[in-house]
Amino acid sequence: MDLYEHQARQLFAEHGIVVPNAEVTDSAKEAREIARRLGGRAVVKAQVKTGGRGKAGGVKLAADPAAAELTARQMLGMRIKGHMVGKVMLAQPVDIDREFYVSYVLDRAAGRFLAIASAEGGMEIEEVAAARPEAVARIPVDPAEGVTSAKATEIADAAGLPPQTVDVLVRLWQVLVREDALLVEVNPLVRTARGDIVALDGKVTLDDNARFRQARWGADDDEDQDPLEAAAAARGLTYVRLDGEVGVIGNGAGLVMSTLDAVAGCGARPADFLDIGGGASAQVMADGLTVILSDPAVKSVLVNVFGGITACDAVAEGIVAAVDRIRLTKPLVVRLDGNSAARGRAILAERAHPLVEQVTTMDGAARRAADLATTA
């Protein structure tokens, strides 16, 4: 269950993380009054459960209350990556000195969490990760140990973050654990001209299995939800629609994120984040492929699976059953490694579907999927 930015900020504030003063509204007229209460100038931010708002015109600085009303009026009702803007948040501007990126994400395949951090946050973090992966630190976090001050210092040092961020890293971990989150992300986390560390944005995904403990959030007007994300959610899939042309399926958030980076490094853009977790049945694969192939922007699909508890032969059988069940219309590149990989490759080779091909390495598979997408 994804939260809106204003809800994520509420969680941050409850756990002692500094956020700018802000208010939310669905009325352009009220936006003028909110801007006046915030001191005149305000950052107007569309409230949708997707990224890329800034580049899509969903984040703008209003110089005065009248401009805030006009900006809110322009944003309300617009669509960003398929999500309709039903509310806007107005926040006090911050005098930024430096921008950083920090997040914690569940790595199902490894059975742990992953801290991802960079001293180069902001709208271009995806480009930074693709062009200079060494600028983005990825530090494993043992769930039993958690993020202590020592662990937070390790993360900050690895990413080149200033010492003042250590306390925030500890508190963000507390958000993740106490709120049953699978993902906690701040982009950007900033240092102000006064030296304060402030979370300017927030993304939080809660574990659907913990809804009974997180009932205060409810469904919270999901009318903005992307149709493909809604279809995936109805099938029990962990899916996030992106704006690229290579569909990505993997088992485990960490592996899927690495696959996204690999695709981007090959000159293509991922079209989605789809984590099948520990399940790779024919129904799961069919559901995943159905959702991805429903996106007209997708030109190729990459399935990247590292067999652990779920063996690769089960994944292969699921793929075979899925492509026999649905009409496969785009090329499918499959990389299987780990438990029963040889058997899984043999199953796919025996089926010999004309649109399914195998590559043995993740980088090679990403490169092939990218080539197929960019030459389609």
Distances (CA, A) of 246 to 130, 249, 320, 376: 15, 10, 20, 11
CB 192 within 8 A of CB 162: no
Q: Which residues, in sequence order, are CB contacts of 50 under 8 Å at separation 6+?
A: 80, 81, 82, 83, 226, 240, 241
Query: What angle is formed at CA 307 by the lines to CA 301 and CA 310, rounded to 5 degrees?
Result: 100
Residues 89 and 176: beta-carbon distance below 8 Å: no
| Res 131: pLDDT | 77
Please tell me the predicted confidence (pLDDT) of residue 218: 63
pLDDT of residue 225: 65
CATH numeric code, 96-213: 3.30.470.20
Q: Of 154, 162, 123, 150, whose CA–CA distance to 137 is shortest?
A: 154
Model pLDDT for residues 244-262, shown as the tens digit of each residue:
999 999 988 889 999 999 9
In whole angstroms, give the CA distance from residue 6 to residue 3.
8
Please give the CATH superfamily to which domain 226-375 belongs.
Succinyl-CoA synthetase domains (3.40.50.261)
Kindly report, as residue ranges, where domains of CATH 3.30.1490.20 are found in the chain.
21-91
Give start-end residues of each CATH 3.40.50.261 domain in the chain: 226-375
Distance between CA atoms of residues 76 and 27, nearest Å: 8
Give the amino acid at 253. A
What's the CA gap between 163 and 174, in Å, rounded? 18
Residue 82, sorted as left (phi over 0), alpha (psi -120 to 50) or beta, turns out to be left
- Per-residue tokens: 177: 């654990």
Write down the pLDDT at residue 162.
95
Structure tokens at 70: 């006009």
* pLDDT < 50 regions, the chain: 221
- Domain ranges in the chain with CATH number 3.30.470.20: 96-213
Q: Which positions are catalytic?
A: 101, 185
Task: State residue 147's pLDDT score.
Answer: 96
State the fold for domain 21-91. Answer: Dna Ligase; domain 1 (3.30.1490)
Structure tokens at 95: 């005098």
Contacts of 269 (CB under 8 A, 6+ apart): 242, 243, 244, 245, 246, 263
Q: What HEC string does 99-140 produce? A: EEEEEEEEECCCCEEEEEEECCCCCCHHHHHHHCHHHEEEEE
* Predicted pLDDT at 1: 81
Q: Residue 152's CB: how many other CB atoms inside 10 A? A: 26
What's the pLDDT at 279? 61
d(CA 171, CA 151): 12
Taking only the tens place, the pLDDT of each residue in 82-125 is 788 999 999 999 999 999 999 999 987 788 899 999 998 876 77
In whole angstroms, what is the distance from residue 367 CA to residue 268 CA?
A: 9
Tell me the H-state helices in the chain: 5-14, 28-37, 65-75, 125-131, 149-159, 166-178, 227-234, 253-265, 282-293, 312-325, 341-351, 362-375
C-alpha span between 117 and 304 (Å, rounded): 24
Instruction: State both tokens at 244.
Output: 């690229």
The DSSP secondary-structure symbol of 2 reads: B
For residue 80, give Cα distances in angstroms to 105, 180, 205: 24, 27, 19
- Contact by Cβ (8 Å): 289, 322: yes
